[in-house]
């Protein structure tokens, strides 16, 4: 099972896919901090991090 994250900001095209949910969450939080100078609340991160079938 893979995990996918797409930045919800309209002006951002950042996407990631990882095999582990903890790694995907860590990278998504780092993206928000470095690119948008913000944080992702845990509830939002849980909602935006999707499980996807490995291709």
Mean pLDDT of the chain: 94
Q: pTM for this structure?
A: 0.88
In 3D space, the residue among 32, 34, 30, 1 whose CA is nearest the CA of residue 18 turns out to be 1
Euclidean distance between CA atoms 20 and 33, whole angstroms: 20
Four-residue CA torsion sign, 48, 44, 8, 14: negative
Quote the pLDDT of residue 55.
63
Average pLDDT of span 22-32 = 97
What is the band of 53 on the pLDDT scale with cuts at 50, 70, 90?
A: confident
């Amino acid at each position: 099972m893979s995990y996918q994250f797409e930045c919800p900001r309209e002006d951002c095209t950042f996407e990631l896919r990882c095999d582990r949910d903890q790694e995907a969450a860590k990278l998504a939080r780092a993206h928000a901090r470095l690119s948008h100078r913000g944080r992702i609340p845990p509830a939002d991160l849980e909602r935006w991090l999707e499980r996807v079938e490995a291709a």
